[in-house]
């Protein structure tokens, strides 16, 4: 007994560390909805390919772990010293053993390397099955998505149709970024003056969180986006709706004394218009994100804030206080001006709300 209590005390010192580790593992499983930011629940062909390599490597590693640790533990007990034992035989080197434990890992590595290299080549292929091309541009700190087939541009939310391969042509407007939607595809870095490629096809409608995965400045952590996968009919409704969104003056002017008209006038005179386009059709790349459809996006500031009137007001009041380092300056807007601008931004909504039907109907 005298021996056991100190060893128990020593073991007890590890309890807090064990609790923290278990809590971290448990928290890692948390997710705000059914579409977590994880590579372990692939929902597209590209991610499935990666998952197969991961699972194969993990299975082999598990077998190796138990064989090696099992042999180690067995040897510890089988050959442990007892009081009065003579000194064991002393060896230096064993050629047969060394050859065996070099050869076995080499063979195991072949079983990992072959499928890995095959997957690298497969995922680097250029899709030829009539893919939907989307031009992706990273900016500090938001993502731009351009659909040449429809002459449309949007930001923040990348809508894709299910059942059709999307072929991403990716670059950056400033520094290095990395485009990553864990459930759909692997990471791809984006470089200036160079087009990188990435493709995937998903059959499962849903909203998949994505994140910039290359440090790109102070707000790197707040450079999120989502991929909204929609059944083809819903996707078509979204893109037609997006094309229809533009300055209300162009598509039936608001009543001249309305809040929306006041907001639109402020937008044109308070420098907003110098950095943001409000039409998605054929719009050039500007300093700030394209705002067509902003009224119905799920969040603002690149996934940082839910798109509520309250958060929009916080943002317009002082962008630097919400996300310091962004290019948008504090325009010194009054509360009355902010209310009018929010009314105007809400008028730039895609109707019906994108993906509302597809997302609630399918769940996970």
| Of the residues 223, 259, 326, 345, which one makes contact with ligand CUA according to CB under 6 A | 223
Residue 248 touches ligand CUA, criterion: CB under 6 A = no
Total binding residues for ligand CUA by CB under 6 A? 9
Q: Quick one: which of 47, 136, 216, 278 contacts ligand CUA (CB under 6 A)?
A: 216
Pick from 36, 138, 186, 209: which binds ligand CUA (CB under 6 A)?
A: 138
Among 43, 146, 159, 177, binds ligand CUA (CB under 6 A): 177
- Whichever of 157 and 214 has its CB closer to ligand CUA, that residue is 214
Taking alpha carbons only, the member of 224, 218, 226, 225 closest to residue 323 is 218
Strand positions, DSSP E, 100-195: 132-139, 142-147, 152-155, 157-161, 166-172, 177-180, 188-190
In this structure, are residues 348 and 254 in contact, taking their beta carbons and an 8 Å threshold?
no
CB of 143 to ligand CUA, least distance (A): 8
Given the complex with ligand CUA, which of 326 and 348 has the nearer CB atom?
326
Q: Which of 212, 224, 266, 300 binds ligand CUA (CB under 6 A)?
A: 212
Pairing type for strands 166-172 and 132-139 reads parallel
Instruction: Determine how β-strand 152-155 pairs with β-strand 177-180.
Output: unpaired
Q: How far is the CB of 312 from ligand CUA (least distance, A)?
A: 23
Report the length, in residues, of the chain. Answer: 364
CA 248/CA 250 separation, integer angstroms: 5
Among 14, 74, 111, 215, binds ligand CUA (CB under 6 A): 215
Over the window 272 to 311, marking each residue x when it contacts ligand CUA by CB under 6 A and - when it does not, the resulting string is ----------------------------------------
d(CA 20, CA 17): 5
Q: How far apart are alpha carbons 176 and 6 in whole angstroms?
A: 54
Instruction: Check binding of 259 to ligand CUA (CB under 6 A).
Output: no
Element (H, E) at 314: helix 309-317
Q: Which two tokens stand for residue 282?
A: 């054929």
Binding site for ligand CUA (CB under 6 A): 138, 141, 177, 212, 214-216, 220, 223
């Amino acid at each position: 007994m005298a021996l056991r209590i100190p060893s128990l005390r020593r073991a007890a010192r590890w309890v807090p560390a064990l609790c923290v580790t278990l809590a971290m593992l448990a928290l890692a499983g948390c997710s705000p909805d059914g579409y977590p930011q994880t590579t372990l629940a692939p929902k597209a062909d590209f991610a499935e390919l990666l998952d197969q390599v991961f699972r194969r490597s993990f299975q082999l590693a598990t077998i190796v772990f138990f064989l090696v640790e099992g042999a180690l533990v067995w040897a510890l007990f089988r050959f442990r010293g007892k009081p009065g034992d003579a000194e064991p035989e002393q060896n230096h080197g064993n050629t047969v053993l060394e050859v065996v434990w070099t050869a076995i890992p080499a063979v195991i590595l072949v079983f990992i390397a072959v499928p890995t290299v095959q997957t690298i080549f497969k995922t680097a292929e250029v899709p030829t099955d009539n893919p939907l091309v989307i031009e992706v541009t990273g900016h500090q700190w938001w993502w731009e998505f351009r659909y040449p087939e429809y002459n449309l541009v949007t930001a923040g939310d990348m809508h894709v149709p299910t059942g059709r391969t999307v072929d991403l042509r990716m670059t950056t407007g400033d520094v290095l970024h990395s485009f990553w939607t864990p459930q759909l595809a692997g990471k791809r870095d984006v470089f200036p003056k160079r087009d990188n490629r990435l493709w995937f096809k998903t059959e499962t409608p849903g909203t998949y969180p994505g994140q910039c995965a290359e440090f790109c400045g102070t707000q790197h952590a707040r450079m999120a986006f989502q991929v909204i996968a929609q059944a083809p009919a819903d996707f078509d409704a979204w893109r037609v709706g997006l094309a229809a969104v533009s300055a209300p003056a162009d598509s039936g002017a608001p009543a001249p004394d309305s809040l929306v008209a006041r907001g639109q006038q402020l937008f044109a005179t308070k420098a907003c218009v110098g950095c943001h386009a409000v039409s998605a059709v054929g719009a050039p790349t500007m300093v700030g994100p394209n705002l067509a459809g902003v009224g119905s996006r799920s969040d603002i500031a690149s996934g940082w804030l839910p798109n509520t009137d309250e958060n929009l007001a916080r943002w317009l009041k002082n962008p630097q206080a919400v996300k310091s380092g962004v290019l948008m300056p504090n325009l010194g807007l009054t509360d009355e001006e902010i209310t009018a601008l929010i009314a105007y931004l809400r008028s730039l909504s895609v109707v019906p709300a994108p993906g509302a039907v597809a997302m609630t109907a399918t769940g996970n």
